A and B are shown apart, each in its own frame.
Chain A
Amino acid sequence: MTIFDEGRGREMDRRSFMSGTLAGAAALGGLGPFAGAVAQSTEMTALMVNAMLGPTLKPIVEEEAKVTIKEGAFLSGTDTVSRLTAPGGARYDLMNSSFAFSHPVVMGPKAGAERVQPIDVSLIPNMKYINEPSKEGIGERDGKVYMIPHSWGFDSILYNRDVVPDNDPYTQSWSLLFEDKYAGKIGWWDVAHQMLMAAGLYLGHAEPEKMDRNQLGEVAKFLISKKKNVRTFYTTFAQGSNLLASGEIAVGYGIVPMRVELKKRGFNITGAWPKEGVLSLISASYIPKDSKNVSAAHAVINAMLGERYAKALSDGCGYLSASKFAQENLTDAYKKEYGYGIFDGSVKHYQLKFPTNMNMWIETWSRVKSA
């Protein structure tokens, strides 16, 4: 106990020293970069998909929560949970990533092993507006809430309607992404998790995230046999969108913001609703243990479930808000276009869950790519 306390004392001293030094540097020199390193009560740091705080959305959250948000560069869900577990703490006041993917890491294996702090739900009055399907994205243990959902995204196949007619039966399945009909016009997203999930669903696996080595081997064999149809692989939103927009590919794996932006820019590109289900994800927020502005983090979570943000989210970046406010006054055509059928069951979906053995998945995908 004594040793622990002494260690803690040293830790606190070092922290105080660092923040004191930086604050001193900022005060003495008026140096912008140093000043940015010192936390202010109205300033908070967040790490989440950047589109969620896009140009039309961030001002709403900042106004509603009365904070200034400084965002980190979001790389992926994997990167986000890796940062959460990194030595020295997450260094963010608020983080957000896919619930199903992040849940095992964020919550830890048992009570007390959570890597985040409990959220004070009394500070999130908008929580009562979370719609029924989204409640699946609440991370709860022993009566304490650790993760709160705020939106849904989904991945499906994007296709150019000038090349692929809407009534083509291939558009009703993930087959569009694999089969020979559009050989040479197909683009694959260069990510193991998503591509293997899509192929697994298409090949009839009920729970693709649980595929064992043999099953993954079968999926790899199938993908390798279909690789001849692939024009190119892509890794970023910009790359995939440009390939589709320029006509270099007519079919590609795509995330929902890609579809929305391509449509906004006037391209005749839309998303398929495969019968096996679109690959969905619930984005959930959590507050790291080392958050320096816990009250601001709560305020931002609440604002992101608020009416203004919920109503602006789909137009802003294509995601569907977990709040009931989002669907108020929406036309049926709008709901269909943006995939709100996920909530009423008219759009089949399957959550992008964390694979049982991610290393095996990455190895399998590498095999597909190098074949």
Chain B
Amino acid sequence: MATLAVTASAPLDTRQRGERARRMLLWAYAGLFYCFLYLPILLLVVLSFNDSQTIGLPFQGVTLRWYEEVLGSPEMLRSILNSVVLGVVSAAVATLLALLLALGFRQEFPLKGLLMKIILLPILIPGIVGGVIYLVFFGFGEVQFGVWTTALPVHITWVLPFAFLTLFPRIHGLDRSLEEAAADLGARPLTVFRRVVFPIIKPGVVATAMFAFTLSFDEFIRTLFVIGNQRTVPVHLWTLLSDQMAPFLPAVGVVITVISMLVSFVGFAASARAGRAH
């Protein structure tokens, strides 16, 4: 009897041990994965408080002076403001255009495939080539360089294909019968969009806008060619890197990360609210 119990529990123990080992491996893999993703960000935060003239370890004491330098610089604050406003406006415009395009692309029309490729073209053009093209284009048009006159159209053009690619699958997969049902019940097209379609796609629209904002906020090379005497954060950072040691860079990184996180938080909150309402 005892022999039987031993032989029955042996494969069970092996299975349990195997399961435990598998779990441990999974935990180790996940742990390493998250360390790889988030340790550099954590290190950036630590370095931003490091009282050292160089960017790096060892940690030589806590200081807030790098934040004082960053937040006390009018140029830096102006460039942050420019980037945020540019990001918000270009994200809003690009998302709206992407939404209209995605709705339009549900229909069949001549040269649809070609038009799709044209919309996606800015993704395929290398940044520096794009920058030169914009420089030449606005040069011939004699458009004054600046945040609103040239950088905004450039950012919208850059962000639009990504916004379209994010939004199109969502709208393409929308059940048309819902719209047909609403129309059968007498709703006009605008009402159908406002009361039926938009509430369904709203989380996707919010996510697209957030993504577009991030892309615009990070854009450097195209902006550099068309921004003139104004600065966005990446352009300002480049000039700092070009002519000083800039030990305050980790603090700049943290400030930018916080801004991006705040925007994401607002986006997630809006998306969640839209989801609940739906």
Q: Which one, A67-75, A109-117, A276-284, A334-342, is touching chain B?
A: A67-75
Is A18 on the interface with B (CB-CB < 8 A)?
Answer: yes
Known: A36-B146, A73-B224, A87-B136. A238 touches B54 (CB 8 A): no
Collect the chain A residues with CB atoms within 8 Å of residue B82's CB.
Answer: 33
Pick from A14, A37, A83, A237: contact of B245, CB below 8 A: A237
Q: Is the CB of B242 within 8 A of A236?
A: yes
Pick from B138, B140, B238: contact of A73, CB below 8 A: B238
Expressed in whole angstroms, the Cα–Cα distance for A238 and B230 within the complex equals 22
Is A266 on the interface with B (CB-CB < 8 A)?
Answer: yes
Q: Is the CB of B231 within 8 A of A14?
A: no
Is A24 on the interface with B (CB-CB < 8 A)?
Answer: no
Is B149 on the interface with A (CB-CB < 8 A)?
Answer: yes
| Tally of B interface residues using CB under 8 Å | 38
Collect the chain A residues with CB atoms within 8 Å of residue B229's CB.
Answer: 36, 45, 70-72
Q: Is the CB of B231 within 8 A of A51?
A: no
Collect the chain B residues with CB atoms within 8 Å of residue A257's CB.
Answer: 243-244
Is A30 on the interface with B (CB-CB < 8 A)?
Answer: no
Closest Cβ–Cβ distance, residue B30 to chain A (whole Å): 32
Q: Which residue of B lies closest to A17 (CB)?
A: B142
Closest Cβ–Cβ distance, residue B52 to chain A (whole Å): 9
Collect the chain A residues with CB atoms within 8 Å of residue B105's CB.
Answer: none
Q: Which of chain A's residues 83-102 have a Cβ closer than 8 Å to chain B?
A: 83, 86-89, 91
Closest Cβ–Cβ distance, residue A135 to chain B (whole Å): 27
Known: A22-B149, A33-B148, A88-B142. A239 touches B241 (CB 8 A): yes
Q: Is the CB of A51 within 8 A of B243?
A: yes
Is B163 on the interface with A (CB-CB < 8 A)?
Answer: no
| Tally of A interface residues using CB under 8 Å | 43
Expressed in whole angstroms, the Cα–Cα distance for A45 and B144 within the complex equals 13
Q: Is the CB of B149 within 8 A of A37?
A: yes
Q: Which of chain B's residues 127-147 have a Cβ closer than 8 Å to chain A?
A: 135-136, 138-147
Is A180 on the interface with B (CB-CB < 8 A)?
Answer: no
Q: Which residue of B lies closest to A39 (CB)?
A: B144
Collect the chain B residues with CB atoms within 8 Å of residue A54's CB.
Answer: 243
Q: Which residue of B lies closest to A90 (CB)?
A: B139
Q: Is the CB of B244 within 8 A of A73?
A: no
Interface string of A261-276 (1 = CB under 8 A from B): 1100111000000000
Pick from B139, B231, B238: contact of A88, CB below 8 A: B139
Q: Which residue of B lies closest to A14 (CB)?
A: B142
Q: Is the CB of B244 within 8 A of A237?
A: yes
Collect the chain A residues with CB atoms within 8 Å of residue B138's CB.
Answer: 88
Q: Is the CB of A87 within 8 A of B228?
A: no
Q: Is the CB of A91 within 8 A of B228?
A: yes
Collect the chain B residues with CB atoms within 8 Å of residue A45's CB.
Answer: 228-229
Collect the chain B residues with CB atoms within 8 Å of residue A267's CB.
Answer: 53
Is A359 on the interface with B (CB-CB < 8 A)?
Answer: no
Q: Is the CB of A36 within 8 A of B230?
A: yes
Is A346 on the interface with B (CB-CB < 8 A)?
Answer: no
Q: Is the CB of B231 within 8 A of A73?
A: yes
Expressed in whole angstroms, the Cα–Cα distance for A70 and B75 within the complex equals 11
Expressed in whole angstroms, the Cα–Cα distance for A241 and B54 within the complex equals 8
Is B270 on the interface with A (CB-CB < 8 A)?
Answer: no
Collect the chain B residues with CB atoms within 8 Å of residue A19's CB.
Answer: 144
Q: Is the CB of B243 within 8 A of A246?
A: no
Is A34 on the interface with B (CB-CB < 8 A)?
Answer: yes
Expressed in whole angstroms, the Cα–Cα distance for A267 and B147 within the complex equals 39
Interface string of A144-169 (1 = CB under 8 A from B): 00000000000000000000000000
Is B246 on the interface with A (CB-CB < 8 A)?
Answer: yes
Pick from A237, A245, A262, A265: contact of B241, CB below 8 A: A237
Q: Is the CB of A87 within 8 A of B139?
A: yes
Interface string of A1-14 (1 = CB under 8 A from B): 00000000001001
Q: Is the CB of A75 within 8 A of B224?
A: yes
Known: A50-B243, A70-B229. A266 touches B53 (CB 8 A): yes
Q: Is the CB of A238 within 8 A of B142?
A: no
Is B99 on the interface with A (CB-CB < 8 A)?
Answer: no
Q: Which residue of B lies closest to A258 (CB)?
A: B245
Closest Cβ–Cβ distance, residue A253 to chain B (whole Å): 15
Q: Which residue of B lies closest to A25 (CB)?
A: B148
Q: Is the CB of B149 within 8 A of A246?
A: no
Interface string of B214-254 (1 = CB under 8 A from A): 00000000001001111100011011111111110100000
Is B256 on the interface with A (CB-CB < 8 A)?
Answer: no
Pick from B142, B145, B146: contact of A15, CB below 8 A: B142
Q: Is the CB of B54 within 8 A of A86?
A: no
Collect the chain A residues with CB atoms within 8 Å of residue B55's CB.
Answer: 242, 246
Expressed in whole angstroms, the Cα–Cα distance for A47 and B201 within the complex equals 47
Pick from B142, B147, B242: contact of A74, CB below 8 A: B242
Known: A73-B224, A238-B246. A86 touches B135 (CB 8 A): yes
Q: Is the CB of A18 within 8 A of B142?
A: yes
Is A197 on the interface with B (CB-CB < 8 A)?
Answer: no
Expressed in whole angstroms, the Cα–Cα distance for A87 and B142 within the complex equals 9
Q: Which of chain B's residues 143-189 have a Cβ closer than 8 Å to chain A?
A: 143-149
Q: Which residue of A lies closest to B56 (CB)?
A: A246
Is A300 on the interface with B (CB-CB < 8 A)?
Answer: no
Known: A73-B224, A265-B53. A37 touches B144 (CB 8 A): yes
Closest 6 CB pairs of A and B: A88-B139, A87-B139, A70-B229, A51-B243, A238-B241, A236-B241
- Chain B residues with a Cβ under 8 A of chain A: 53-56, 82, 135-136, 138-149, 224, 227-231, 235-236, 238-247, 249
* 13 pairs, A vs B, C-beta closer than 8 Å: A18-B144, A19-B144, A22-B149, A33-B148, A37-B149, A73-B239, A75-B242, A87-B139, A238-B245, A242-B54, A246-B55, A257-B243, A265-B245
Extra pairs beyond A86-B136, A262-B245 (6, CB < 8 Å): A36-B229, A73-B238, A86-B135, A88-B138, A238-B240, A246-B56
